[in-house]
Amino acid sequence: QVQLVESGGGLVQAGDSLTLTCSASDVSFNGYGMGWFRQVPGKERELVAAITRSGRTERYADSVQGRFSISRPNAGTVVILQMDNLKVEDTAVYYCAADRDPIFSTRLEAFDTWGQGTQVTVSS
């Protein structure tokens, strides 16, 4: 059964902005750390951004630092990824994921619940 659903992907030009939304199906997700990951063909999934259940701590991949921002309003079940100044190399399928472990982590292995993904394509 679907528990996390991503939306907001699309085709944009380099320099544009895009907002991705992750919606959880159950209120229990407001007690989990959340993350956004991305994957391109032939490569492993990589962390884009992560946020604690409180929303007070954020972590970002070096490649998106200063351009992307993760948030979870009211420490709730919706997690937002605001992407500004998009680059061609940001093109990927973006996945929302949940970490049910009480210790905040940015490790891929720590996230065990995943959405279906949303495609982001950045053209030059």
Q: In tens digits, what is the pLDDT along the chain, a chain of 124 residues?
A: 679 999 999 999 999 999 999 999 999 999 999 999 999 999 999 999 999 999 999 999 999 999 999 999 998 899 999 999 999 999 999 999 999 888 889 999 999 999 999 999 999 9
Neighbours of 62 (CB within 10 A): 6
Q: What is the rounded distance in angstroms from the CA atom of residue 44 to the CA atom of residue 66?
A: 23
- Cα R_g (the chain), whole angstroms: 13
Q: What is the rounded distance in angstroms from the CA atom of residue 1 to the CA atom of residue 11?
A: 28
